[in-house]
Amino acid sequence: MLGYTITQWLFGILSFLAIMFALMVVFTRNPINSVLYLVLTFFCIAGHYLLLNAQFLAVVHIVVYAGAIMVLFLFVIMLMNLNQDTEPQKTVISKVVAAIAGGLLLFVMVGALRGSEQLQIKQYGHSDIGLVKNLGNVLFHDFLFPFEIASVLLLAAMVGAIMIGKKEIK
């Protein structure tokens, strides 16, 4: 089909959808809708991971990001008071500052990506390291220490969440 393989077609469609939904996140006025579009964006990115043969990452991305982190986002939105009358009106100066900051970020990104076409990227073909079984083998042999440290990280996050979020019971 037009000289493209089916993988290239899928990549194109997924990229288009991901960028579309990402733009919708920014342009919708309702914050709840933004979060829902962000979920769709994450699904598209999970599709990209599948195309890269990183299947474990794809599933984890859907379960943790689209499933759990987005619930947290929704909760944060609902924790805030978003009534029409209490929503703060943005002043002109804050809009100008936001535009300048966003423009600078775009400038930096474009500058960082300039010249990347000259990079020699090694093509390894279909690597199977992203499959669950191979990844488990590597994780439990070569990367055992980081794996155990991850539990300390989770423990710290747990203690921190309880310390901040829980009132002391007398």
Partner 1 sequence: MNATNTPMDYLPIVMMFLVAFGFVATTMFLTHKLGPKRKTKIKLESFECGIHSEGNARLPFSVKYFLVAILFVLFDVEVIFMYPWAVNFKDLGLPGIIEVFSFIILLLVGFYYLLAKKALRWED
| Crossing angle of the two packed helices 132-141 and 144-165, in degrees rounded to 10 | 90
Nearer to partner 1, 99 or 132 (CB): 132
Instruction: Give yes or no for residue 116 binding partner 1 (CB under 8 A).
Output: no
Instruction: Give yes or no for residue 137 binding partner 1 (CB under 8 A).
Output: yes
Instruction: Give the DSSP per-residue string, 106-148.
Output: HHHHHHHHTTGGGS------S--TTSHHHHHHHHHHTSHHHHH
Nearer to partner 1, 117 or 168 (CB): 168
Instruction: Give yes or no for residue 166 binding partner 1 (CB under 8 A).
Output: yes
Q: Which of 3, 72, 107, 114 binds partner 1 (CB under 8 A)?
A: 72
Enumerate residues 22-61 that contact partner 1 by CB under 8 A.
Answer: 50-53, 55-56, 60
Size of the site for partner 1 (CB under 8 A): 51
Phi, psi of 128 (to 5 degrees): -100, 15
Residue 136 and residue 108: Cα distance in Å, rounded?
37
Instruction: Give yes or no for residue 167 binding partner 1 (CB under 8 A).
Output: yes
